[in-house]
Amino acid sequence: MTTASVVTNILGSLLAILVSLKLLTSFLPNLLVGLPTKIRLRANQSLLKCSKDLNKIPVLNFGWKNASARRAFVLASERPSDYTNKIYGDRVHIAYRDRIRRESFIGELGQPTERKLLGFFHPYCNAGGGGEKVLWKAVETSLKQSKDNICIIYTGDTDVNGSDILESVKNRFEYQLDSDRIIFIFLQKRDLVESKRWPRFTLLGQAYGSIILSIEALNKITPDYWIDTMGYPFAYPIVSLFANIPIVTYTHYPVISTDMLQKLKNMPGFKMNFKLIAKYVYWKSFMLAYKFAGSYVDIASVNSTWTYNHIKSIWSRSKKSHIIYPPCSTETLIEGCRNSDSSQRLNQAVVIAQFRPEKRHELILSSFSSFIKCTAEKELIPKLILIGSTRNSEDEQYVETLKEYAFGTLKIPAEFLEFKTDCKYEEMKKILYSSWFGINAMWNEHFGIAVVEYMASGLIPMCHASAGPLYDIVVPWDPKENKQSTDGALKTGFFFIDKSDPDYLAKDSSKYSTLSNLFTQVSKLGTSDRIEISNRGKICSLSKFSDVEFERSWNKILDELNSIGDVDIFG
C-alpha cells in the first residue's frame, strides 16, 4: 500500500468519525430527553389501577427511555425530591403526592415549563470536606435564586440515603436547604474513579472511570445544565455528545499541571532515565487530552489565583475564568470570637490538616524541634497542637509514625506537643479561639481553607510561601479602606520556605525565612502587634472569603447560564 493510499484511508476514517459524531450529537440528546412513546397513557393507566389504594406504588419501566421518563416526571412533580433512584434503580415510580393529583400530574407531563434541572456531578457529596462545602453552598444559592431551579445531585454514596446526607450537611455546614427540590441520583460505578482501582496508569484509569460514571448519570436523568464541582474533566466531551447541554465547572485543582511536568523534568538524571522520560510523555499526552476536554466547558470557575493561572494556561482556547473563592463561613467564625479577649489568648500554635504526607507534618515537627533547641527562654515556646482527620487505617498509622518521630526521634517534650485526631468541630473552634498562631506547611496548596479559618478565628498564620496562601489569603490588608494593600507593613501573617521545596532554588531565600526561624520571629511579637495583625486578618477574611461573597459570585454564574448563548470562556 502506498503512502498516498494510507493517508487517504486515514483521512477517510477521520471524516467518517466526524460525520458519525455529528449524527450522534443530533440524535443522542433527543434520546435522553425526548418523551417515551405513550408516556401519558401508560402513566395514567398505572395511576388508575392504583386509584383505590394510593399506598400502592406504580413502578414503570421504559427501557432505554427511563432517563427521559424520570426527567418528565420530575418536571411535572409537586415534590421533585421523590424521584430519587435509591429504591427502584433505573425503573421510575410515581410519587404519592402525584398519585393524589392524578389529572393535573398527567396534564402537566411533558408540557413546557419554566423549571430547570441543575445537575451537580459530585460522586463524593457526603465526604464533608472543603469541596463538599462548595457544592452545598452552590446548591443552596441555586435554590434561593429561583423557585424553578431543581438540583440533581449525582453521588456514589450508596451507603446512605438523601435525608441522611442533608442532615449531615446541616450539622457540618449549617446550611438550610429546600430538600423538596433536591434529587439524589445514586451511581453504582463510583469505584471506577477511585485511585486504588487503578494502581498503574492511575490518571488514565480515573479518566476512563469518570467517562463511564458520567454516562451512568445521564442514563438516570439528564439535566438542563451539567455542573462539575469535583473535577472530572474527561466527562465533558461525553456530556456534550450525549446531552448537548451547557457545562459549568468549579475547579479546585487541575487534574494535571505544568508544575507536575516541570517537577518531573527537574528530577536528577531525567535525560538518561527511560522510565522518567516515558512518564513525562504519558503526562504530556494526558495534558493535551485535558486541554481538549476543557474546550467543551461553557462557564469555568476556579478557587484561587494559582488554579486560575494553571487552568488558563491549559484551557488556552477558551476565554477568561472566574475566580470564586470557596465559602469559608468566616462570618460564623468571626462572630464566635467577637466577645473573646485577644490579649488572653494562650501561647499555642495550631495545625489543621488531614493526616497525610503532603501536609508536611514532619517538616513542622522538625522545625519546631530545632526552634526549641535554640530557645533559651522556654516561656516563649508555644504549645503545638496538631488537629486533623484520618480517612483510613493508613492515615492512622501515619499519625503513629509522626508521634514516634516527634517524641522518640526528635525528643520534643510532651508538654509542648499534642495530637488531636478526628477532633469535633466545636472543640476545634474552641482551640482556635484560644490560640495565637496557625501553621500551614503544604507546598503549592491550591487554596488553603484552613488558613482562612485561622485568620477568621483571630490567629496569625504561618504559611508556606506558595499558591493560595501566598497569592490570595495572607495578603497585606488596609483595614481603613477595607481592601488589599501593597504596603507590606499591613501584613496579615508570615511566610516561610524550606530546602525540601521542589522550587526552592527559584525562591528568594533573603525574602523568606525557614519555619524554624519563623517560630523564633513570631514568638517575640508583642501583644499589641499580635492584635493588630489578628484584626487585619479577620477583616480580610470576612471581605474575601465569606459565604455571602461566594453566594454573590455564584449568582453571577447562574445569570450567565440564562444567557449561555453569549458565553465564550477564556478567548
pLDDT at position 299 over 60: yes
pLDDT at position 302 over 80: yes
What values do phi and psi take at 496, rounded to 5? -145, 165
Q: What's the count of helices (H) and strands (E) in the chain, helices before strands?
A: 21, 17
**Which pLDDT band, with edges at 50, 70 and 90, does 289 fall under?**
confident
Q: Which residue has better confidence, 213 or 395? A: 213
What values do phi and psi take at 274, rounded to 5? -60, -40
Alpha helices in 174-235 (DSSP H): 202-218
Least confident of 44-48, 205-209, 281-285, 530-534: 281-285
Strands 225-228 vs 182-186: parallel, antiparallel or unpaired: unpaired
pLDDT at position 18 over 60: no
User: Which amino acid is it at 64?
Assistant: W
Looking at the DSSP bridge assignments, the partners of residue 383 are: 348
| Residue % of the chain over a pLDDT of 90 | 63
Could you give the angle at the alpha carbon of 202 between the alpha carbons of 198 and 206, nearest 5°? 85
With residue 352 as reference, give the H or E element that holds it: strand 346-352
Of 296, 306, 383, give the one whose Cα is nearest residue 568.
Answer: 296
Residues ≥6 apart with Cβ < 8 Å to 100: 54
| Mean pLDDT value of segment 404-417 | 95
The mean predicted confidence, pLDDT, of the chain is: 88
What are the distances in angstroms from CA 503 to CA 258, 266, 412? 13, 10, 29
What are the distances in angstroms from CA 324 to CA 250, 563, 566? 8, 20, 20
Give the pLDDT score at 112.
92
Least confident of 80-89, 193-202, 436-445: 193-202
SS3 of residue 525 by DSSP: coil
Of 433, 315, 344, give the one whose Cα is nearest residue 385.
Answer: 433
Looking at the DSSP bridge assignments, the partners of residue 540 are: none
502, 428 contact by CB (below 8 A): no
Which residue reads 487554596 in cell numbers?
447
Question: Cα separation of 74 and 30, whole Å?
Answer: 17
Going from N- to C-terminal start, the domains of the chain cover 25-108, 116-326, 330-545
Question: Cα separation of 263 and 21, whole Å?
Answer: 38
Alpha helices in 34-156 (DSSP H): 39-49, 66-76, 96-100, 102-108, 130-145
239, 141 contact by CB (below 8 A): no
CATH topology of domain 330-545: Rossmann fold (3.40.50)
| Residue % of the chain over a pLDDT of 70 | 93
| Residue-wise burial string across 370-398, b where 16 or more C-beta atoms lie within 10 A, e elsewhere | bbbeeeeeeeebbebbbbbebeeeebeeb
| Rg value, the chain, Cα | 27
Question: Cα separation of 144 and 551, whole Å?
Answer: 10
Strands (E), 465-566: 477-478, 483-484, 494-496
Do 116-326 and 330-545 show the same overall fold?
yes
Give the pLDDT score at 130.
83
Q: Dump the DSSP string for 384-406.
A: EEEEE---SHHHHHHHHHHHIII
What are the distances in angstroms from CA 388 to CA 88, 240, 352, 363? 38, 39, 6, 16
Identify the sign of the CA torsion 411, 413, 416, 418: positive
C-alpha cell at 324: 470564586
| Mean pLDDT value of segment 266-292 | 81
**Which pLDDT band, with edges at 50, 70 and 90, does 3 fall under?**
low
462, 478 contact by CB (below 8 A): no
With residue 121 as reference, give the H or E element that holds it: strand 116-121
Identify the sign of the CA torsion 362, 364, 369, 371: positive
CATH topology of domain 116-326: Rossmann fold (3.40.50)
Question: Cα separation of 53 and 400, whole Å?
Answer: 60
The alpha carbon of 407 is separated from its chain's Cα centroid by a whole number of angstroms, namely 35
What values do phi and psi take at 294, rounded to 5? -65, -20
User: Which amino acid is it at 375?
Assistant: T
**Range with the largest mean pLDDT of 114-118, 393-397, 422-426:** 114-118
| Residue-wise burial string across 447-477, b where 16 or more C-beta atoms lie within 10 A, e elsewhere | bbbbbbbbbbbbbbbbbbbbbbbbbbbbbbb
Q: Which residue has better confidence, 565 or 524? A: 524
With residue 275 as reference, give the H or E element that holds it: helix 274-294
Of 213, 302, 202, give the one whose Cα is nearest residue 569.
Answer: 302
Give the pLDDT score at 101.
94
